[in-house]
Amino acid sequence: MKARQNLYLDTDLSQRLDRLAAKPGSSKSAIVADALKAHLDRHGARELEDKLKPRLDKVTTQLNRIERHQRVLIESLALYIRFHFSVLPPLAEASQKASRVLAQERYQAFIEQVGRKVGERGMIEEVLDHVALKETTQ
C-alpha cells in the first residue's frame, strides 16, 4: 500500500518533473520516490561517514606512529649491525668452535631478555618517547 502525499513545488521544478514524467514508462510518483530515496540514502551515508571519520583519522594517526617507530627501530638495528661488524676482529680458526658455543648462549640470553621486555615497557618505548619529545621541542 502506498501513502498519498501532497507536495508543493516551485513552478520551474514542477515543469521539469512534468517533462520527465512525459517520457514513456515513467510517472511523477516514481520519479519523486526515486529522487527522495536517493536523497535519503546519501544523507544516511553522510551520517555514517561523519561518525566513522574521526575513528578512521585516529586509526590513521596510530598507524603512522607505528610506521615511524618501525622505521626508527629498523634504522637503529641496521646502524648497530654495521658498527658491530666494522669493529669485530676476525676469529682464529682454533677458537671458532668455542666462540660459536658462546655466541649461542649469548643469543639465548638475548632472546630471553627480549621476551621479558615485550611483556613490560621496554627500552624501545623509552627511546621512541625520547625521540618524539625531541621532535616536538624543535
pLDDT band at 64 (very low <50, low <70, confident <90, very high): very high
Is there a domain that residue 24 lies in?
no
The boundaries of the domain holding residue 101 are: 94-138
Residue 88 belongs to a domain: no
Rounded to the nearest integer, the mean pLDDT of the chain is 84
What per-residue confidence (pLDDT) applies to 138?
66
Is residue 106, in this structure, part of any structural domain at all? yes
Number of domains into which the chain is organized: 1
In a domain, 117, yes or no: yes
User: What is the 3-class SS of the chain, one letter each residue?
Assistant: CCCCCCCCCCHHHHHHHHHHHCCCCCCHHHHHHHHHHHHHHHHHHHHHHHHHHHHHHHHHHHHHHHHHHHHHHHHHHHHHHHHHHHHCCCCCHHHHHHHHHHHHHHHHHHHHHHHHHHHCCCHHHHHHHHHHHHHHHC
Do the domain assignments include residue 39?
Answer: no
Residue 72 located in a structural domain? no
30 or 48, which is more confident: 30
**What's this model's pTM, rounded to 2 decimal places?**
0.43
State the pLDDT at residue 60: 95
